[in-house]
Amino acid sequence: MKERLIEKGLLIVALSALGSLLLIAVFIFAEGMPLIVKTGFKEFIASTRWAPTKGSFGILPMIIGSLQVTLLSLILGGSLGLACTMFLAEFAPRWAVRILKPLIELLAGIPSVVYGFIGVVVLVPWIRNTFGGPGFSILAASIILGIMILPTVIAISLDALNTVPLTYKEGSLALGATRWQTLYRLLFPAARSGIIASLILAMGRAIGETMAVIMVAGNALLISASPLAPVRTLTSNIALEMGYAAGDHQRALFATGVVLFIIIAILNTIALLTMRKKR
């Protein structure tokens, strides 16, 4: 009886996470869908005019801005994170790994507003003086987010590499492969699922980040291919306007959350299907 009670209790705790997600989704959709139905889904996501006080609810610039910032930050942070993972997994001395890994994980505990402040004080003036433009830009937001997702990419990827059986590495080296060939031709493919999972989590962190992006992105409702142009993301739009929004304006911000929810679900699905295909 005691074991059954413990089993049921653990099941309830496990289902609570799923229940919380379901409640959040129901609340967001219940608040946002009426405005999407009223405006039209195609008009809502394809229009470039955002003027809630005048009845215009087009979020295309913010969708494109979110994707630009997320993809560029994933390229910067993902590539640097995987390079750090390679170094820590194969080439760094063990004493250095014991010191560097906790320090890297400590980056995850720094508040995002601190990253944003450093970006405003250091990064934005450097971009302005080096490349031109206002400094508040897609590039600034992407660099900040790239740094913020480093702990996620490095920690999970390194754990995935450490779970690969040691016999794989020993067999490869015994057959004459170099350490580098063993790493990228054998160990990385064997740990692919964990590495892709780290990139998925990093992507979710980047597309959902708000405060640091507000501080360095410029928050302009523009569509531009230049990384030096200012941009406003979906999360920034919600945070900037929710404090004074009412009526259809408020419902439009909830509808923006619905679109963000759908985008994250689509990106995660694509990543999971890609991982399954490679398997």
Paired strand residues for 218: 231
Tell me the chain's radius of gyration from C-alpha atoms. 22
pLDDT at 279 (0 to 100): 55
Mean pLDDT to the nearest integer, 170-192: 86
Mean pLDDT to the nearest integer, 155-166: 86
pLDDT over threshold 80, residue 273? no
Choose among 154, 157, 144: nearest CA to 210: 144
Half-sphere exposure of 66 (CA within 13 A, CB side): 26
pLDDT at 53 (0 to 100): 81
Phi then psi for 23, rounded to 5 degrees?
-65, -40
- Domain segments of the chain as ranges: 27-278
Residue burial 26-42, b: 16+ Cβ < 10 Å; e: rest: eebbebbeebbeebeee
Mean pLDDT to the nearest integer, 98-105: 84
CA distance 257 to 255: 5
**Which CATH number among 3.40.50.1370, 1.10.3720.10, 3.40.50.720, 1.10.3080.10 corresponds to the domain 27-278?**
1.10.3720.10
Half-sphere exposure of 247 (CA within 13 A, CB side): 6
Choose among 104, 97, 85: nearest CA to 194: 85
What's the pLDDT tens digit per position in 126-156? 999 998 888 899 999 999 999 999 988 998 8
Question: Which residues does 88 contact at the CB level (< 8 Å), separation at least 6?
Answer: 96, 97, 100, 101, 154, 158
Sign of CA dihedral 104, 106, 108, 110: negative
CA distance 279 to 269: 15
pLDDT over threshold 80, residue 271? no
Mean pLDDT to the nearest integer, 38-49: 86
pLDDT over threshold 90, residue 95? no
CA distance 187 to 25: 38
pLDDT at 4 (0 to 100): 87
Could you tell me how many residues make up the chain?
279
pLDDT at 127 (0 to 100): 92
The fraction of the chain above a pLDDT of 90, given in percent, is 18
Residue 278: pLDDT band (50, 70, 90) is: low
pLDDT at 225 (0 to 100): 83
Mean pLDDT to the nearest integer, 148-168: 87
What's the pLDDT tens digit per position in 216-228? 988 888 888 888 8
pLDDT over threshold 80, residue 85? yes
pLDDT at 246 (0 to 100): 83
Of the two residues 156 and 278, the one the predictor is more confident about is 156
pLDDT over threshold 80, residue 262? yes
pLDDT at 276 (0 to 100): 65
Mean pLDDT to the nearest integer, 209-221: 88
pLDDT over threshold 90, residue 75? yes
